[in-house]
Structure 1
Amino acid sequence: MLTSSKKLACFILGLLLSTGALAADPVAVNPAHPDRHVVVRGDALWDIAEKFLRDPWQWPNVWHVNPQIENPHLIYPGDIITLTYVDGQPRLSLQRGSLVKLSPQVRSTPLSEAISVIPLDAIHPFLTRPFVVDKDEMDTAPYVVYFADEHLMGGKGLRGYVRAIENTDNNRYDIVRPGDAYRDADTDEVLGYEALFIGNADLQKTGDPATVAFSNSELEILKGDRLIPISREVQLENFYPKAPGSDVSGSIISVLNGITQIGQYNVVVLDRGANDGLAAGHVLTIMHRGRTVRDVVTPESADTVTLPDEPAGNMMVFRTFPRVSFALVMKATRAIHVKDRFINP
């Protein structure tokens, strides 16, 4: 069995190898494309595809792997990707390089060396923690009511009392604190709440109050902090870039990690989620929201004009909640801001 970290590196082409996945729409090549690229350590498949294609997320539509290649689901440093044409259509092909040894005694070694589709370090911290909860979930979650040994705050190695955990369905919990509300950019409707990660707790004894041991803390644990069962890591074996199946549009409503200027590989929050048809792997075009400006020519300068939205880059959804999603900005062609819009690619 692969570990969860290795699974993150091994999801790369699992669904891309079927000829039935080819799209009917033509794929445009990058005018400055090379004829071949030798994969090096640190490459990501998206970046490689960008060397060949105008829209790198479309590489599944032109990907071809020689069926004689053993374990074609992984791409390693030293492999060679070439661009050719078949019936006038571009095709990306993989040639196994000499750096990968397939002898039985080392066959498991290269798994951690396989390149990823996107920079996984940028999204991995956002795959396991809750981050977004709805109001009902937050209101009904167990909460810290007191600390053992008369401590005023909790931390790693200390114990606390929680109201209330009556069963052992879950033994490990994330400790979170309610943060800002995520709101629809157009209607101001509350879509969910940011869940600030505080630490982790292990259940020691059920009851009202229950007893927990704090196994980790990134901030001081306070009375009223909520406990949410630890969610399992999002599995990415079936994750690959594609357009949404229906028209989806909305806005960027926040950017994570305290970033103010949004650029490549920043994680943003969208005001659309699984209930709106978004799923992991969906690629979206970011549109710089046109400003509303004053028309200085009209009488008394009272008229205003809203400028058109302009393309500003693209992003890939990697985690969805019912009404909001997280996406990774893959390319920024101009400044990107909170409240900028997104549409289908």
Structure 2
Amino acid sequence: MGISRFLKVTPLIISFILYFNHSNIALSGGVEKEYKIEKGDTLWDISGEHLKNPFLWPNIWEKNQYIKNPDLIYPGNRLILPVIIPSIPVSRPDRIEEIEAPLAPAEATIPVAVPEEPAVPETPPATEAAEIPEPPEIPASLYPPSHEPSPIEDKPAPEIVRRTAIDEELIYAGGYIVKDIISSGVITGSPEGRNIFAAGDNVSLSLNKKENGISVGDKLTVFKTPEYVIHPKTRKKIGKLFIPLGVIEIYRVQGRDAAGRVITTYTNLSVGDHIQPYSPAPSVTETARTVPGLHGYIIDSRDGNVLISDQNIVYLDKGAYDGVTPGTAFFVVGDKPDNIIGEIKVISIQAYTSTAIVTKSVEPFSIGSKIVTSIK
């Protein structure tokens, strides 16, 4: 009886020890939490704060499959946070003791063989975090400048490491300033009676004209009701802000009534949003041209942010005619000329304006902040 009990109990102890030393992180079966995205949030930051490890951001992305691009998350949208908890580490004893039940009198004289102690390997080195691949490099639109800048001897701008890359989807979703915007119609609702829509939802549309050239299979861009951009310094109208919200594919057209399916969203769509024929963002190589001595201002932001910080999209009063190209970097200047509080990078351009993303911010800044390409 003693030997048989020993042989039954000992493997259980060894299995128990090896199981808890196998991994330091485990998914919990607990209740998942919901998080509302705030201005300036990134999946990296959210993972670091709520999962206590920024390298677990892909777990959040996997849980929220409506997010097509992890660099494109917007304030107000909600995330499901997976519940990830550290498992309880169990220290391995130096020696595995025999566990026996009391011997019966008849068994007391039977010699019990003590098995050799199994070789227990040294504590394995911590598993390295899986390497997260970098996003693809940025393709962006390129327009030839109207003039070559005259050489100016300036102090080279200090190199600032960029945290993320930029892709075509960000270029398109970033929007731009144009002289005027033509609307082909509006979203009026859905067969289910909903007012807010995401990818996969069906929507009802009201077209502006019966003979508008829109047919089944066409793709339409959904965009916000355009508003005029007023220059924060001169108070002049610069143009209208065109901000794409998503893409719809038409599956029914009947006179001025139509229906479509949402195939892409950059943020939630809603009743009253406008539509127009879809045109993909041009795809050419980024040149990151430097224009010494150029200065201007941030004249608006994509999400209407009062305070602007990392990864926000902003609009500038400098464009192709000023020598700006996709990839041109500007420094954001604070109260003093040598007080650099951030850096922005141009992702698309128009004739007199451009769209940029904040790649670094030492402190939040605002619409009307001054920008320069070099520091004297």
TM-score (norm 2): 0.47
| Equivalent AA in structure 2 for residue 9 of structure 1 | P
Report 1:29-178 matches (<5 A): 55-56=158-159, 119-120=164-165, 126-129=170-173, 131-134=175-178, 136-137=180-181, 140-144=182-186, 146=188, 153=195, 155=197, 156-164=201-209, 166-167=212-213, 171-178=218-225
CA deviation digits over 1:237-273, x for unaligned, max 9?
Answer: x2143312x7532111233446444344433221223
Residue 276 to residue 258, structure 1, CA distance change in 2 (3 Å): same
Gaps of 5+ in 2: 1-68, 71-132, 140-150
SS of residue paired to 1:191? strand
* Structure with higher RCO (Cα < 8 A, 6+ apart): 2
Residue 231 of structure 1 is matched in structure 2 by 279
Percent identity among equivalent residues?
A: 14
Residue 335 to residue 206, structure 1, CA distance change in 2 (3 Å): closer
CA distance in 2, matches of 1:176, 1:266: 18
Q: CA deviation at 1:325?
A: 1.8
SS of residue paired to 2:270? coil
SS of residue paired to 2:290? coil
CA distance in 2, matches of 1:149, 1:265: 36
Matched, 1:221 2:270: yes
> Could you tell me whether the CA contact under 8 Å between 1:161 and 1:210 is conserved in 2?
yes
Larger Rg computed on CA atoms: 2
| Alignment partner of 1:266 out of 312, 316, 330 | 312
> Could you tell me whether the CA contact under 8 Å between 1:287 and 1:310 is conserved in 2?
yes
Q: CA deviation at 1:168?
A: 5.2
> Could you tell me whether the CA contact under 8 Å between 2:298 and 2:368 is conserved in 1?
yes
Report 1:3-22 matches (<5 A): 9-10=136-137
Q: CA deviation at 1:192?
A: 2.6
> Could you tell me whether the CA contact under 8 Å between 2:176 and 2:242 is conserved in 1?
yes
> Could you tell me whether the CA contact under 8 Å between 1:200 and 1:215 is conserved in 2?
yes
CA distance in 2, matches of 1:198, 1:277: 29
Residue 296 of structure 1 is matched in structure 2 by none
Matched, 1:192 2:204: no
| Equivalent AA in structure 1 for residue 158 of structure 2 | D
CA distance in 1, matches of 2:174, 2:359: 23
Residue 127 to residue 287, structure 1, CA distance change in 2 (3 Å): same
Q: CA deviation at 1:316?
A: 1.6
CA distance in 2, matches of 1:339, 1:309: 17
Residue 17 of structure 2 is matched in structure 1 by none
Residue 282 to residue 201, structure 1, CA distance change in 2 (3 Å): same
Residue 61 of structure 2 is matched in structure 1 by none
> Could you tell me whether the CA contact under 8 Å between 1:274 and 1:323 is conserved in 2?
yes
Q: CA deviation at 1:214?
A: 3.3
Residue 242 to residue 253, structure 1, CA distance change in 2 (3 Å): same
Residue 181 of structure 1 is matched in structure 2 by 228
Residue 220 to residue 338, structure 1, CA distance change in 2 (3 Å): closer
**4+ runs deviating over 6 angstroms:** 4-8, 24-28
> Could you tell me whether the CA contact under 8 Å between 1:183 and 1:271 is conserved in 2?
no
Residue 48 of structure 1 is matched in structure 2 by none
TM-score (norm 1): 0.51
Matched, 1:325 2:354: yes
Residue 81 of structure 1 is matched in structure 2 by none
- Residue correspondences, number: 226
